[in-house]
């Protein structure tokens, strides 16, 4: 079955960077876009951007432009999200989630399935 | 781009039906049939319940249904069960220049 397994929790100091991984299995990695969504403690969901694992192309929410980098390693079916210049308000659970892309019908506009989430805590 | 507006909480007794609203604008909910709904239990990842306004993924109970009218989408849960107690989020594609997808503020569903 389709499964996304993310890396473990991280604790970082303000100003540092964090890189979260998301390993996919059970489907053709390059056939699905990978989205990243975060959720601050007790708050709602926030879309950060996506990467096309086939081409490496990316699309980031303007809020994160210049601080986020999404990459992938197709040899191990893994996507990465790196966030730099961390602040305390970046403390959140970061999720990866897939969306199918078809050359005829385009990108499916929903997220399924999701990884289990990675808690990133930013604290001095 | 503001988050889509959902009621903070909705409650109902077992067996009853409840409806959660999700209000946006003509740039998101009203402009596209790309509304999806997610269920999130405490400490768990969100789970897709409805996509493209009213489609149910395989494996999701037919007690869950979605609809849309103008700039407001709705999720209805019929025959409410204890296991339905969770947070629910809507999401929509948006034509905003700053991001592609926007989520709702979230609704806590309580089964009385």
Model pLDDT, residue A40? 98
Task: Give the confidence band of A2 by pLDDT, cuts at 50, 70, 90.
Answer: very high
| Cα–Cα distance for residue pair B100/B40, rounded to 1 Å | 22
- Answer left, alpha or beta for residue A26, where phi above 0 means left and psi between -120 and 50 means alpha: left
Q: Cα–chain-centroid distance for residue B106?
A: 8
Q: Say if B98 is an interface residue toward chain A (CB within 8 Å).
A: yes
Q: Do the Cβ atoms of A114 and B46 come within 8 Å?
A: yes
A-proximal residues of B, 6-35, CB under 8 Å: 32, 34
For residues A22 and A5, is the Cβ–Cβ distance under 8 A? yes
pLDDT in tens, B18-45: 999 999 999 999 999 999 999 999 999 9
| Cα–Cα distance for residue pair A11/B61, rounded to 1 Å | 38
Q: Do the Cβ atoms of B46 and A95 come within 8 Å?
A: yes
For residues A36 and A82, is the Cβ–Cβ distance under 8 A? no
List C-alpha distances in Å: A117 to A12, A85, B45, B60: 17, 21, 7, 22
Q: Min CA distance, B102 vs chain A (Å)?
A: 7
For residues B4 and B104, is the Cβ–Cβ distance under 8 A? yes
pLDDT in tens, A3-51: 999 999 999 999 999 999 999 999 999 999 999 999 999 999 999 999 9
pLDDT in tens, B43-95: 999 999 999 999 999 999 999 999 999 999 999 999 999 999 999 999 999 99
- The DSSP string of B42-65 is TTS--EEEEBTTTB--TTS-TTEE
* Chain A residues touching residue B100 (CB < 8 angstroms): 47, 49-50, 59, 61
Q: Say if B108 is an interface residue toward chain A (CB within 8 Å).
A: no
* Chain A residues touching residue B36 (CB < 8 angstroms): 109-111
Q: Do the Cβ atoms of B97 and A62 come within 8 Å?
A: yes
- The stretches of B1-112 forming alpha helices (DSSP H) are none
Q: How many residues does chain B have?
A: 112
Task: Give the confidence band of B97 by pLDDT, cuts at 50, 70, 90.
Answer: confident
Q: Do the Cβ atoms of B102 and A47 come within 8 Å?
A: yes
Of the residues B68, B100, B104, B105, the best mutation for testing chain A's interface (the one with the most A CB atoms within 10 Å of its CB) is B100
For residues B30 and B70, is the Cβ–Cβ distance under 8 A? yes
Helix (H/G/I), strand (E/B), else coil: B84: helix
| Cα–Cα distance for residue pair B31/B95, rounded to 1 Å | 9
pLDDT in tens, A65-91: 999 999 999 999 999 999 999 999 999
């Amino acid at each position: 079955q389709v499964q996304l397994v993310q890396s473990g929790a991280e604790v970082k100091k303000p100003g540092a960077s964090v890189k979260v991984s998301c390993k996919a299995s059970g489907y053709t990695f390059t056939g699905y876009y990978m989205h990243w969504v975060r959720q601050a403690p007790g708050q709602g969901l926030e879309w950060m951007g996506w990467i096309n694992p086939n081409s490496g192309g990316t699309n980031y929410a303007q809020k994160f432009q210049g601080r986020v980098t999404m990459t992938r390693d197709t040899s191990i079916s893994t996507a990465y999200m790196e966030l730099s210049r961390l602040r305390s308000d970046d403390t959140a659970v970061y999720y990866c989630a897939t969306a199918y892309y078809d050359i005829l019908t385009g990108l499916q506009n929903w997220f399924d399935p999701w990884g289990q989430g990675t808690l990133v805590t930013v604290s001095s | 781009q503001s988050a889509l507006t959902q009621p903070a909480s909705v409650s109902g007794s077992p067996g009853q039906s409840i409806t959660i609203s999700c209000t946006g604008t003509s740039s998101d909910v009203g402009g596209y049939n790309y509304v999806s709904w997610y269920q999130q239990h405490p400490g768990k990842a969100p789970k897709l319940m409805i996509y493209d306004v009213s489609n149910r993924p395989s494996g999701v109970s037919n007690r869950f249904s979605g609809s849309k009218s103008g700039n407001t989408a709705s999720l209805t849960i019929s025959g409410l069960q204890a296991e339905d107690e969770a947070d629910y989020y809507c999401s929509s594609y948006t034509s905003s220049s700053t991001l592609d997808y926007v989520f709702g503020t979230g609704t806590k569903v309580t089964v009385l």
